[in-house]
Amino acid sequence: MVLEAFGLLILVNGTQDRKITLTESLELTLEAYFIGQLIPLSAAGVPYQGFLLTRKGVRAGWATALVIVKGFVPGVFFFLVLVVTAILAALRWEGIAEAGTFLKIVGPLSALPVCLIVTVLVIMLKFPALFDRIVDGIAAFLVRKLPGKASERVEEARVMLEDESHIFRDALSALGRHRRIILMWGVLLIVLAFIVEFVVAVVILWGFGYQGAGTMPVILQCLLKPILFASPTPGSLAVGEGGYIAFFAVYLPAHFVGVSLVLWRLVVYFVPMFVGGALVAKRIGSGGFDVERQPVTCADARRDPVRKR
């Protein structure tokens, strides 16, 4: 979580004037994680994080661009791992043999969400007009189907997206062309955060007697993670347990699988969820969803007497 927070901090502070602190970045990361586990699709934490960034004074277009970049980075990373693993399997790499059955099941299941993420990213960057039409079409459909105030909120969101779309594209362009070092460091930290998460399961394996290297267990989790992201259950409940039961069974005797699963779920999910839930509750109790006001300078007051009052 700290590594991911550092990645967000670099992406925000390195690309625009409104700065956030490491503490704020860590809070945003943990809160988004908590929201993502409550709502069936884990990606729900991404728009929530963008929403909180706008409350910190970041323009909506920039906030959207930053969290989408942050959200797409794992998908591109998992896609590359999937391609490399398929090549190694075709070449009959020695390390794949022991996990062959698990890989044959997880690989094809992982391909669908990963390829979908990469496809959406390509459309967003290469065909922005098509992406806009898709967004407008989805918004128009929701406006027709949703009743009353819900329909009005969808229309308000669509108008806001259109107003901020030029900032959104400028932000993506700036990240990809003019802020490559910032993008590189942000991507590196986010990918490293996922690798560290996967090492938790490897340490559990070592604790129960597994003596092999951690490379293949990390690769298998890279392929399993997109399936958990796309799981239709809150916190990938049942899907995560089923996937990791099969994962631990590849490397450990059957009598160690259950306790390994409990340890994995406790460290990777329950601890950050508890902290994130406490932060969300604190934010609700303190009215922390209000837009953060910038201090009014003397020059601002002279230009805008209404604001001064």
- pLDDT mean over 54-69: 76
In the three-class reduction of DSSP (H, G, I as helix; E, B as strand; rest coil), residue 238 is classed as coil
Query: What are the φ and ψ backbone dihedral angles of 78, each rounded to 5 degrees?
Result: -65, -35
270 touches 34 (CB < 8 A): no
Tell me the pTM: 0.76
Give the burial string for 97-118 (b: 16+ CB within 10 Å, else e): eebeebbeebbeebbebbeebb
Largest CA distance in the chain: 74
Q: Cα angle vertex 41, ends 39, 47, to 5°?
A: 80
Q: Identify the pLDDT of residue 113.
A: 82
- Cα–Cα distance, 84 to 75 (Å, whole number): 14
Residue 202's closest CA among 250, 235, 254? Answer: 250
* 131-146 tens-digit pLDDT: 777 777 777 777 776 6
Q: Cα angle vertex 76, ends 71, 80, to 5°?
A: 155
103 touches 89 (CB < 8 A): yes
* 207-261 tens-digit pLDDT: 999 988 888 899 999 988 888 887 777 777 778 888 899 899 989 999 999 999 9
For the cut 90, the answer to whether the pLDDT of residue 65 exceeds it is no
- Cα–Cα distance, 273 to 259 (Å, whole number): 20
- In the block, tokens 């970049």 appear at 69
Query: Cβ atoms within 10 A of the Cβ of 128, count?
Result: 14
- In the block, tokens 């006001």 appear at 293
Between the alpha carbon of residue 201 and those of residues 28, 43, 242, 286, 298, the distances in Å are 25, 22, 15, 37, 56
Q: Would you give the DSSP letter of residue 91?
A: T
* 198-212 tens-digit pLDDT: 999 999 999 999 988
Task: Give the rounded percent of residues in the chain with a pLDDT score beyond 90.
Answer: 15
For the cut 90, the answer to whether the pLDDT of residue 287 exceeds it is no
For the cut 50, the answer to whether the pLDDT of residue 303 exceeds it is no
64 touches 131 (CB < 8 A): no
